[in-house]
A and B are shown apart, each in its own frame.
Chain A
Amino acid sequence: MPVRRFLEQLAVVVILQLLLTRVLNWYQLGPLSFFVWVLLLGWWQQESLSIIMGFATGLLYDFLVRGTPGWSSLLMILVAYFNGYFPHEKLMERVAAAVVFGLFYSAALAVDTNYGLVWQGGQVIRFSLCFAGLSGLLAVFLSASGIASWNRKNYW
């Protein structure tokens, strides 16, 4: 992927994340644009880059929300890796991938590596379902919208 396009995407993702957390924070359940971007990179045949960016954005997210350093990174690189093997040609396959990985990621966030399970079971399930649904919607919307053609734009 050309560096310029990569930097553009990174800027869009960071701005989107700020918008999601500051402006569109609906019931504290805004989808995580870093997570969605990692999925999109995998769907755009950039699997290795998606793993690296999963690590970097996960670390950044841990830093931003003062989470346990390394935990989001670990989850993101696992998501990025297995996303590469998940079928994603059709729209429904992408929906399924986003929901499955969203469930995994958000449920695992309820575990703090220092303290164990810190949320109650019912809350974990409700939160995971909402997070997975919203992240899935955003991922599918972005992949189906003009961003795909923007991604194919030839700079060089």
Chain B
Amino acid sequence: MIWRFRRELLLCLLLVVCLLILRRGQWQNSFFSLRGMNGSEIHLNSEELLRENRRLRRLLHLQEKKLSPFSSVVTAEVVKIQPSVWPGQLLVNKGSRDGVKPNMVVVSPEGSLIGRVIETGETTATVFTLFHPSTKISVMVQSTREIGVLEGASLPYLLVRYLPRESHVQPGDTVITSGLSDYYPKGLVVGRIYRAVTEKNQFFLVAWVKPEAGFSQLDEVLLAR
């Protein structure tokens, strides 16, 4: 009797395994786990305090502007970046106790996209940036309205794939989020086109994008939902 339904049983079993793998996700990135970090060990001198004050005022100004697509915004300090150049992962000093939840969007004080919250601890949260190898975001070239997929792991630039081959994108064109991806609202600035190439025998156009957020000067970020 059971043998008769072996295919169905096999299907159900493997479906469950697939769903577990999907849910677990990101296992290839577990090497970079930053769990257990404590963000309180930051020593500031007076110059630092002055600079921080200026930055926080800028953040406050941005928050007052309400970051229109978001309903709630949390300001956080970056306490660890990894690797130190073109970071794929950040640790910020706000966690679930402060209302931070997985999949919140992370933006710079200027309002450009940095990444997404992947995991939250009680007092910290892990963020995957645009440079992270697992990044795939639906983006749009603002001038031509063409949609592509932004991918990380093409340092020092980001890569936009699947733009139409006949696209007329130009270096300097602004790339924004398209709103088709689940977690990113439409219109967040991602970066500017650095170079666009239509290679021979390729179905799509490939563009390299310089991110708008200054990844070398990450002090505070906004976590928004």
Contact = CB atoms under 8 A, between A and B. Distances in A.
Interface string B133-148: 1101110000000111
A25 B19 CA distance: 31
Contacts of A48: 6-7, 10
Interface string A128-143: 0010000000000000
Interface string A66-108: 1011110110011001001000000000000000000000000
B19 A77 contact: no
A77 B20 CA distance: 15
Given A66-B133, A69-B25, A127-B203, A115 B18 contact: no
A128 to B, nearest CB: 12
A27 B21 contact: no
Contacts, number: 105
Contact of A119 (B6, B14, B162): B162
Contact of B201 (A27, A52, A120): A27
Given A116-B138, A119-B147, A55 B203 contact: no
A119 B19 contact: no
A51 interface: yes
A48 B21 CA distance: 21
A84 B8 CA distance: 11
B101 to A, nearest CB: 15
Interface of chain B, main secondary structure: mixed
Contacts of B147: 119-120, 123
28 contacts: A25-B201, A27-B202, A48-B10, A51-B7, A55-B18, A66-B133, A69-B21, A69-B22, A69-B27, A70-B19, A70-B20, A73-B14, A73-B21, A74-B22, A77-B15, A81-B11, A112-B181, A113-B25, A114-B25, A114-B182, A115-B182, A116-B183, A117-B181, A118-B136, A118-B180, A120-B147, A123-B164, A130-B203
Interface of B: 6-7, 10-11, 14-15, 17-22, 24-25, 27-28, 133-134, 136-138, 146-149, 153, 162, 164, 180-184, 201-204
Interface of A: 25-29, 47-48, 51-52, 54-55, 59, 63, 66, 68-71, 73-74, 77-78, 81, 84, 112-120, 122-123, 127, 130
Given A55-B17, A73-B21, 19 more contacts: A29-B203, A68-B25, A69-B21, A70-B19, A73-B14, A84-B7, A112-B136, A112-B181, A114-B134, A115-B181, A115-B182, A115-B184, A117-B138, A118-B136, A118-B138, A119-B162, A120-B147, A120-B162, A123-B162
